[in-house]
Structure 1
Amino acid sequence: MIQSALVPLEVVHLDRVSAGIDLLEEVGVPTLLIVDLALGEEAKDLITLLAGNKFYTHIKVIVLCDTEEEGASYSEWIARPTSQENIEPLLGIYLAFQQYCLGDRTEHDGISYRALFSQLPLGIAVSRLVKRGNTSSHVIHQINSKLENMLGRTKQEIIRLGIEGCTNTKDWEQERLLLKQLEEQTVTHYSFDKRCLHGDGKEIWVQALVFSLTFPEDDDFHYISIIRDITEEKNLALKANEAVSQVLQGKLQGMGYRSHLDEELTVFYLTNGSYELTGYTADELTGGYGFDYNKMIEPSSYRKVIDRLHEQIRYGKHARLEYEIITKGGEHKWVFELGRITEDNPPILEGIILDVSHYKELERSRLYESDRIPLTGLLNRSALKRQMEEDKKSSEIQESALISINFTPLYETVTRLDHTHIENLLMEIGAILAQFKSESVGVYGPVDYSFAIYLSSYPSRSWLEALGTQIIGQVSNLLFSEHVGWGVGIIEIDWNEDPEINELLHQAIQTSGLASKTHSGRPSIRFYDRMISELIHRETSILRELSSIAASVEDDRLYLDFQPVVSVQTNTIAGFEALARLMSDEFDLVGPGEFIPIAEKYHLIVPIGYQILTKALRFQKRLEEKGCGDCWVSINLSALQLLEPGFANVVQSLMTKEGTNPEAVVFEHTETSASSSVTVVNSIFKTLQDLGSRIALDDFGVGYSSVARESELNVDYVKIDKLFSDHVLTQEPDRAVLGDVIRMIHKMGHIAIVEGVEAESQLDYLKRNGCVLYQGFLYSKPVSEEKALEMCT
């Protein structure tokens, strides 16, 4: 069992201590050595040799012994019999030791670690504490697939929610204190039982073993959590307590039994409670009448029950199992068997069998209620999956459909709206969607701001489209004033193709997410098809790379190009706009119009945004060193980044660290980004302006309430969208409205910058209408950092 736990590592088994000493002389990398005390005095001599000898500091020793008393003399030990529970700390010991010997690590150790991370049958999460100004947050930056399965969520969901979002609120308050102790090094590790929020809306119990981690040239507090699902153990403990209580109160029927330890665990003795439980007397079942108790076990599960009981008594010498029996009268009953191996010669299995049918009915009732989401009264994802699994097994149902209605952007609006308001919106949406329920149509959610409608059968594709249109019509009336993008995704399911249900749910949510991305901003309907499958793959791959970049200190895949902002009158460069680019390992160059929305959707935009900001500030410093200190750099901000607590303080710290002149920095934001509270946004702008920086309103003319918004916001520049400059090429100059827009902006005390200037005729128009600055391909496309520095000098 120990060897299987260490499968990802290179394991060498030696049955002689002398051979071990020879091997250790040749090994110079961090090594885990397990010494079996059963080898006698030689083993103890080996441990003595290694202890305190600086030549062997790269070797960690764990002792394998027969009793806890025997192991108490050593710092790390495992007592036989080995089990998953007592070998789990191996990982923590090995990782902690590798940290200590980090300077001696080799590439092989890294490979071993990655294999251990991916193959260990326990959930693993690597996290760090990110501090920005006076605020801090715990960010997960690496997990394994076992944790995804345990929490019923994708890697992206878990990273987006973070530790706090995945943990029960009360338990998080306790764990946060434990993490504080770990950060302050008052403890080296801790173990904590807590409740986590499963993807289907239910809570599960997990046990987390947490160690701190250190990395070279990184002062952040990192830690690793090794997580085990203990839900079944908690439920069994609760159930056992309830069963004992009910037996003592005489509320449970049951009987005592004894059985042989033969292949079929034949029952040879029963107490008088047999008749009440089974309809047979004890003599009828044990008197050799050709019918014994085990034949009453429900036929389809008979073999499984007997094999499971054998497995339990072989490893733990106890039997504890729930199963179904069929009584003499044909009644189905659930029983709970609790037994132990006796000291007799030969030993037998002895115990009690209790009638828990009533309890089972209560459990089903509780399960049904627990499947309901309190906010809306609708069923959760767990109930949806069960229904889909039933339909998949049914021979009568061939084709079904799954509709996802995705309101994820509501999550982003929590930063600017009262949380209660968001909950009220979700309740109202749930009430609207509940109207579509019928015998063959179920409505579920919300789970992570998505609702689902599942149809066991449906008439036609056009009928599904009509239903989607109806949903959009009713929900749009509610969300009209919220300015929140959302969409309807539909998957037609052919059960004959044996699709994976988790994959269907993922595809449905992704399809509805794509449906929300329309140029008009209005919700749309999209059916899942091959093209969407490719888009989902592309988004998932880009997200994986962004997650890697966000977790790193520096990554060359994320880089900046720079486009000049030019004086209309002198045709000289006034500044540069920093434009983010992603050089994907899989797709080569990916533009910001694609990867920035993905970063925003999965809440990676804040760490990504800070990397962009840092690179732009360094470029401005290089401009100054080249003698171009008058040239400013403009940096685009996401709404999530702008509204991040302490954002202005972090900006100031970065400027100080990079030696940047704040007066040579312009921060750009879009009208959509500024749709938050004007008071809040203006307060942030003023803090940045007090530093000496300036603010630009981007994409003027294509957002919400442009003129009203411009007059409300404290900005220095207004960038007029390319839509207006294009009109100069297609209309008579006297009919183009661009000149009026420029004059209006100047009257409001702002400076106009016209985007998308590609022709001399457009530049002449700007000169005649008093425009100050422009940007476009007429002067230059976006260029590399080095080329931008050449242009300036």
Structure 2
Amino acid sequence: MLLSNLPGMAYRCRLDRQWTMEFVSEGCRELTGYSPEDLVENKTLSYNDVIAPEYRESVWDSWDKNLAGREPYRGEYEIITASGARKWVLETGQFVLNDEGAVEALEGIIIDITRRKQYEYRLKHIIEHDALTGLPNRIYFEKLLGQNRSRGAANSAVVLVELNHLNALTLSYGYAFNEQIVMEAASRLKSLVTEGRQVFQVSPERMAFYMPGCAMEEPFLLCNEIAAVLSPVPMIHAAGCGLGVLNFTGPDKDGDEILKNASIAAACGGMKGTFGVCVFDGEMEAKAERERIIKDEIIASSLDGERSSIFAEFQPIVDLKTGRIRSFEALARMRGPRLGLVPPVEFISLAEELQLIVPLGKRILASACVFLGELKRAGFGYVSCSVNVSALELVRDNFLGDFLTALRERDIPASSLCLEVTESLVAFNFDLINRKLGELRRMGAAVSLDDFGTGQSSFFRARDLNVDYLKIAKDFTDRISASSRSRLVTGDIISMAHKLGYRVIAEGVEHEEQRQYLADHGCDYFQGFLFSRPVPQEEALELVRITNLP
């Protein structure tokens, strides 16, 4: 009675390859569709016949492995019922020993776990597939990559498809429109799946084909196929589509690195136009590694205020009439332990990409305030200092508060600071930024429009700006040394700026001829290597002593 009420099937069998049954409980009917009599002594069929063929050897091997230590058995496998249906079962059993310690029989119970397995498969599918497109996702890709790596698959490739401008389209048309493009692209790319290549949704805007053991030309043939199936979709062209090819061999790269490098190549391909193809090579890898090192150093500096890899140097701004230093520009510099001196054009754009330009800007502002304090103590309190401000900094709600806090902490008057903004920054959100510039001026700070003439500003727009200075871009300074017609443009900028009430600073002055032309045309100040390159604080103080003392 007790055994008949047990879930599943209780049994006693011999240790042979047929699992010859000596006793089977009544639960056998519900589990297998066979009666106990069918299985006992293999009357109709053996229990080994009930086990699905692909599991028979592994079940025997598992029992055999446990035999030496007489350890209990626990295993999951599939059986085939009398109706032909498959069921997952869990078997737990143990060895029955005689007085001499020899195995007399096996006893255990087998229960149906099909519903649990179905739930596990559904959960596994959810985990390993993209909810929108149904494609296998990055988790599945890395799992498959690991399996192939263990088998030693060589000459593999990834072809990554990146919809470059998808985020911009989302801002214009919404998420539903974005999702339609992704689903259409995924549907068309599925048609290119073969036995030798699988497609994965590795991020919302990226799909990747994995081609283990492929010939070297196959990824490029696939790129042609991708272009052919996606080209008829008009919005794919609007979204932009770059193709990145990464060839790799051996187990030296993990899935994350492979996808990162393929994405770098796809971004490069996108710059060539829709369906542009770029292959990740050694040069690109070196560039990616350099960027990684720079980013690591930026992150470390943002977390450690005492780290000195990002610092300020100061370039003099000289009064053209008196020849004395009127101000300095605090310029961000980076010197890392691995790369040495890194050009600002490299690390500043990466800081913006990492959303860490704000702490970088705070560090340079603090350095400028320290420098102003030293100038004041040396008797040069009238010398001011400029700092550059990015759009990400200026549009922050607490930017003005942080600015005032930095000044108060070091007892620096706002009138000693000039904030430099670029034309592109002002164009980013003219009304908001111009309002903040007005508030800065009301606090006593000066404002300078940097690189004037290189962006989209005009004098018509500039007259409405809350700025005190226009800084002529180096391009216009360079024209002074060119033809007489080219240099007229620079002179006209100076004249028009003065008529609008602005003082003018010329950047990038490297030759005496340029300085003389600027002086003759009434330019107020100049800045450039002719006088001094950017220098550390102590050298800057010495320059002021030499230049400004009678």
Mapped partners of 1:548, 1:522: distance in 2: 37
Mapped partners of 2:458, 2:131: distance in 1: 40
Choose from 78, 83, 94 the match for 1:325.
78
Mapped partners of 2:225, 2:510: distance in 1: 44
Partner of 1:502: 256
Q: Which amino acid counterpart does residue 500 of structure 1 have in structure 2? A: D
C-alpha displacement at 1:494, in angstroms?
A: 4.9
1:272 maps onto 2:29 in alignment? no
C-alpha displacement at 1:510, in angstroms?
A: 3.5
C-alpha displacement at 1:530, in angstroms?
A: 0.7
C-alpha displacement at 1:703, in angstroms?
A: 3.4
Mapped partners of 1:702, 1:681: distance in 2: 19
> Cα distance 1:766–1:745, how it changes in 2: closer, same or farther (>3 A)?
same
Mapped partners of 1:280, 1:556: distance in 2: 78
> 8 Å contact 1:373–1:379 — kept in the other structure?
yes
Unmatched runs of 5 consecutive residues or more in structure 1: 1-252, 480-485
C-alpha displacement at 1:395, in angstroms?
A: 11
Unmatched runs of 5 consecutive residues or more in structure 2: 1-5, 546-550
1:571 maps onto 2:329 in alignment? no
Deviation digits for residues 380-434 of structure 1 (CA, Å, limit 9, x no counterpart): 4335546767887999996543225375995xx9xxx996867467446536744
Please state whether the residue corresponding to 1:659 is helix, strand or coil.
coil
Choose from 363, 373, 382 the match for 2:139.
382
Deviation digits for residues 515-570 of structure 1 (CA, Å, limit 9, x no counterpart): 68x8x999975421011111222222222222221111321222111111222333
1:298 maps onto 2:55 in alignment? yes
1:600 maps onto 2:352 in alignment? yes
1:694 maps onto 2:449 in alignment? no
Choose from 657, 666, 671 the match for 2:418.
666
Mapped partners of 1:397, 1:371: distance in 2: 24
Please state whether the residue corresponding to 2:480 is helix, strand or coil.
helix
> 8 Å contact 1:671–1:709 — kept in the other structure?
no
Choose from 535, 542, 548 the match for 1:783.
535
> Cα distance 1:678–1:295, how it changes in 2: closer, same or farther (>3 A)?
same
Q: Which amino acid counterpart does residue 88 of structure 2 have in structure 1? A: V
1:353 maps onto 2:111 in alignment? yes
> 8 Å contact 2:371–2:537 — kept in the other structure?
yes
Mapped partners of 1:634, 1:531: distance in 2: 37
> Cα distance 1:532–1:487, how it changes in 2: closer, same or farther (>3 A)?
farther
Q: Which amino acid counterpart does residue 714 of structure 1 have in structure 2? A: N
Please state whether the residue corresponding to 1:672 is helix, strand or coil.
helix
Q: Which amino acid counterpart does residue 716 of structure 1 have in structure 2? A: D
C-alpha displacement at 1:498, in angstroms?
A: 7.7
C-alpha displacement at 1:258, in angstroms?
A: 5.3
Please state whether the residue corresponding to 2:189 is helix, strand or coil.
coil
Partner of 2:246: 492
Q: Which amino acid counterpart does residue 681 of structure 1 have in structure 2? A: I
> 8 Å contact 1:582–1:589 — kept in the other structure?
yes
> 8 Å contact 1:436–1:443 — kept in the other structure?
no
C-alpha displacement at 1:362, in angstroms?
A: 6.6
Please state whether the residue corresponding to 2:481 is helix, strand or coil.
helix
C-alpha displacement at 1:630, in angstroms?
A: 1.7
Q: Which has the higher contact order (CA 8 A, sep 6+)?
A: 2
Choose from 543, 556, 571 the match for 2:308.
556
Choose from 489, 502, 509 the match for 1:757.
509
> 8 Å contact 1:487–1:514 — kept in the other structure?
no
Q: Which amino acid counterpart does residue 792 of structure 1 have in structure 2? A: V
C-alpha displacement at 1:613, in angstroms?
A: 2.0
> Cα distance 1:331–1:439, how it changes in 2: closer, same or farther (>3 A)?
farther
Partner of 2:223: 464
Q: After superposition, where does 1:250-269 map in structure 2 within 5 Å?
A: 255-257=8-10
Task: Name the Cα RMSD after superposition.
Answer: 4.9
C-alpha displacement at 1:735, in angstroms?
A: 5.8
Moved more, 659-668 or 344-353: 344-353
Q: Which amino acid counterpart does residue 464 of structure 1 have in structure 2? A: C
Kindly tell me the number of residue pairs found equivalent between the two proteins. 517
TM-score, reference length from structure 2: 0.75
Partner of 2:3: none
Moved more, 347-356 or 550-559: 347-356
Q: Which amino acid counterpart does residue 626 of structure 1 have in structure 2? A: A
Q: Which amino acid counterpart does residue 452 of structure 1 have in structure 2? A: M
Q: After superposition, where does 1:43-192 map in structure 2 within 5 Å?
A: none
C-alpha displacement at 1:781, in angstroms?
A: 0.8
> 8 Å contact 1:487–1:525 — kept in the other structure?
no
Deviation digits for residues 716-740 of structure 1 (CA, Å, limit 9, x no counterpart): 3232321222222232246642223
Moved more, 700-709 or 750-759: 700-709
C-alpha displacement at 1:670, in angstroms?
A: 2.7
Choose from 531, 556, 564 the match for 2:283.
531
Q: Which amino acid counterpart does residue 637 of structure 1 have in structure 2? A: V
Structure with max Cα Rg: 2
Deviation digits for residues 295-326 of structure 1 (CA, Å, limit 9, x no counterpart): 5472586489779999xx98xx996x7x4424
Choose from 398, 405, 417 the match for 1:653.
405
> Cα distance 1:273–1:387, how it changes in 2: closer, same or farther (>3 A)?
same
Mapped partners of 1:787, 1:656: distance in 2: 26
Partner of 1:182: none
> Cα distance 1:348–1:431, how it changes in 2: closer, same or farther (>3 A)?
closer
Partner of 1:75: none
Partner of 2:158: 401
C-alpha displacement at 1:505, in angstroms?
A: 0.8
C-alpha displacement at 1:436, in angstroms?
A: 5.0
Choose from 760, 767, 772 the match for 2:519.
767
Mapped partners of 1:300, 1:769: distance in 2: 95
> Cα distance 1:741–1:550, how it changes in 2: closer, same or farther (>3 A)?
same
C-alpha displacement at 1:584, in angstroms?
A: 0.8
> 8 Å contact 2:8–2:111 — kept in the other structure?
yes
Partner of 2:548: none
Please state whether the residue corresponding to 1:437 is helix, strand or coil.
helix
